Structure 1
Amino acid sequence: MTRPLVLFTDETDLDPAPGRALLEAAGCDTVLAELPSRAGEPQTLPAGAERAVALVVGYARIDEALLERLPNVGFIATMSAGFDMIDRAAAEARGIWVVNLTDAATEEVAAHALTLMLALERDLRGSVAVTAAGGWTDDVTAVPRRLSGLTLGLFGFGRIAQRLAQVAGPSFARVIAHDPFVTAPVHGVELVERDALIAESDVLSLHLPLTADTHGAIDGAAFAAMRPGVSLVNVSRGELVDPEALTAALDSGKLRGAAVDVLHGEPPAADHPLRNDPRVIVTPHVAFLSDGSLEHYTLDPARNVLDWLRTGTAPRAAVRGRDAEPLLPAGE
């Protein structure tokens, strides 16, 4: 049996070596490319990449033009929960399976979201600046709000938001959530319509996948409908928020502040205006990061590829493809 080739499309902040070693030990060949994440940049493939049957994708853009050059690909594994870097329609048209990581860092991302909202509400950045400048209590001007009087709103109520509700809920007066795909409330969270979520949240935390429907979901109209002094937290995707509307909401005082782990077009430019905005806390897309999560992120995509190579199917796929004959013997 010919050794199947698995193409790692890009080297991210995650080391591809463990995943490649796992696949190669199981009977695969692997190759690492340097495909870009931004549209319009050239997509240069390594020699021989056209025989790849599966892809392991970090941030690289997987569009129709690229898939045309990779005619044997039947499976794509992402190194993230999101799979918005993949042209879903093009994958579906070719019967390609797409499997994302659904639970590699649930605990970590929920904890990071809680950390960001607490830092906002307690004005941690401002207090640290006072201390660094040689000041002390009398030099602090911001007065934090008491959490037990606030409503926490969760836009999206999947695994991460539900875990966040568990750990943050006891500190807030009320926790509400909106998710059209969740119908049963859990952890004492009240499910509400989108408009109610936007209008009634004092702290709004985003937990949405990036799709055509959610792109720019937090726009000027959404900000206009919010309570004055709301705090915004985003640990999902930068493109969920209209950047110009965000700046306008900060300038008008509608937003108390924003704390984000994601920005448009990552990595953002060194002079991105939000990097040094005193009203905004920006962390460098590290919500997923822990010693425990790294093993899942580096090895689970390769494990997902191996499952497909041995069975020709993928029951946990985000995008269902066509069943195929296995390319590796079962159990090897």
Structure 2
Amino acid sequence: MSIKVLITDHPASTPDVEREVLSTLGAEVVVAPSTDEATLAELAGDVDAIITCFAKVTDRVLDAAVRCRTVARTGVGVDNIDVARATQLGMIVTNVPEYCTDEVADHTLMLILALSRRLGPLVADTAAGGWDRNLTPVPMRLRGKTLALLGTGTIGRALIPRAQAIGMDVVACNRGRATPPGVRSVPGLAALFAEADVLSLHLPLTPETEGIIDRSALAAMKPSALLVNTARGGLVDTPSLTEALAAGEIAGAALDVTEPEPLPAAHRLRGLPNVLLTPHIAFSSDGSLADLSRFAAGNVVGVLRGSLPSSVVNPDVLESPGLRGKGVTHS
């Protein structure tokens, strides 16, 4: 029986890199014409692996994939995959955890700079023929200001020296893990929110972190504070943020990710002058996209050849009697 791999969607303009890597298996590659659940469930029926970027790989899709051994995410977060159901069915779920660290840290710093300099309205007004230095509030001087990190994983840690290079004081609240060198520890979330001149989010989206930036968190922040999110849109309660920005309860927000994503065309956040939006692009560069596709497809090749990728999201499945593909090496 020939090997078949379903690509639900892909980060680059074409899945050429994935095809090249999968050709080492002689695999037939099927690219989904759309990412709706019914289409993916129909296509998944006879595949050995699924590669997905943003498409939702639901329990219905996984249940239909009766011979699938692995689901590979072309990205870091796996909140678009029903990992619990994949584990129950004996499928190994993989991701690519560190392909875009520099890109996201750079994009985050860019958003901090642009937001603090009130760049959005100034650029738009100048492009439209204006020349008004007083169009926005006076820009914020970042030197000496406090950058509060909510999350100090790989990307959060990469942001630290970038922020320190422009003179910012970096603080974090690390429950259960060591505070990175050069970062001041604060005792809890309330203190983190209260100290922040800029609050930058770098958490995965889990049931525990969903909506962590809610009405009470925003109320704890300074009226002059800025919020930056390049992690996951679901970390922020969007209605609460919209109201806080419109009421001037915080000074501004820069979002590369939103909930929902994309925002509806008429959403109020799109029209607020103290908001900068980018279309979930922080991860992207000519280098990172190639790495991402190559590593994700490589994870599939590894599993289907019986070896274990380094980035298994659901390691419990490896001890499951229902593990699909008993040739997988656990060491």
Scaled by the length of structure 1, the TM-score of the pair is: 0.89
The offset of 1:14, in angstroms, is 4.7
Task: Spell out the pairing of 1:84-103 with structure 2 (5 A cutoff).
Answer: 84-103=79-98
- Mapped to 1, the partners of 2:222 and 2:299 lie a distance apart of 44
**C-alpha displacement of 1:42:** 4.3
Alignment partner, residue 26 of structure 1: 25
Number of residue-to-residue matches in the alignment: 321
Answer whether contact 1:109 1:235 (CA < 8 A) is retained. Answer: yes
Alignment correspondent of 1:285:
280
Decide which of 136, 143, 150 is 1:148's aligned counterpart.
Answer: 143
Superposed CA deviations along residues 225-281 of structure 1, whole A, max 9, x for unmatched, are 112211000111111111110011112212111001112232333323222321100
Residue 114 of structure 2 is matched in structure 1 by 119
Per the TM alignment, residue 301 of structure 1 is displaced from its structure 2 partner at its CA by: 0.7
Deviation at 1:190, TM superposition (A): 2.1
Aligned counterparts of 1:76 and 1:27: Cα–Cα separation in 2? 18
Counterpart of 1:330 in structure 2 is none
**Native 8 Å contact 2:242 2:268 kept in 1:** no
Q: 1:300 to 1:14 in 2, by over 3 A?
A: farther
1:191 has 2:190 as partner: no
The one-character-per-residue Cα deviations of 1:75-117 (angstroms, maximum 9, x if unpaired) are 1110111110011221222232111111111000000000001
**C-alpha contact (below 8 Å) 2:37/2:56 kept by paired residues:** no
- RMSD over equivalenced CA pairs, Å: 2.2
Q: State the percentage of identical aligned residues.
A: 40
**Distance of 1:314 and 1:11 partners within structure 2:** 20
What residue number does 2:157 align with?
162
Give the structure 2 partner of residue 311 of structure 1: 306
User: 5+ residue gaps in structure 1?
Assistant: 328-332
SS of the aligned residue for 2:251 comes to strand
Aligned equivalents of 1:204, 1:225: Cα separation in 2: 12
Measured in 2, the distance between the counterparts of 1:66 and 1:244 equals 31
- Give the letter for the 1:124 counterpart: L
Deviates further, 194-203 or 114-123: 194-203
Contact 2:229 2:257 in 1 (8 A): yes
SS in 2 for 1:31: strand
Normalization by structure 2: what TM-score? 0.89
Task: Look up the match of 1:239.
Answer: 234
Deviation at 1:141, TM superposition (A): 4.6
Q: Helix, strand or coil: the match of 1:196?
A: helix
Aligned partners of 1:35 and 1:43 also within 8 Å: no
SS at match of 1:229: coil
Q: Residue deviations 1:294-324, cap 9 Å, x none? A: 1112221101111112234334212122363
Paired letter, 2:179 = P
Rounded Cα–Cα distance in structure 2 between residues aligned with 1:279 and 1:138: 16
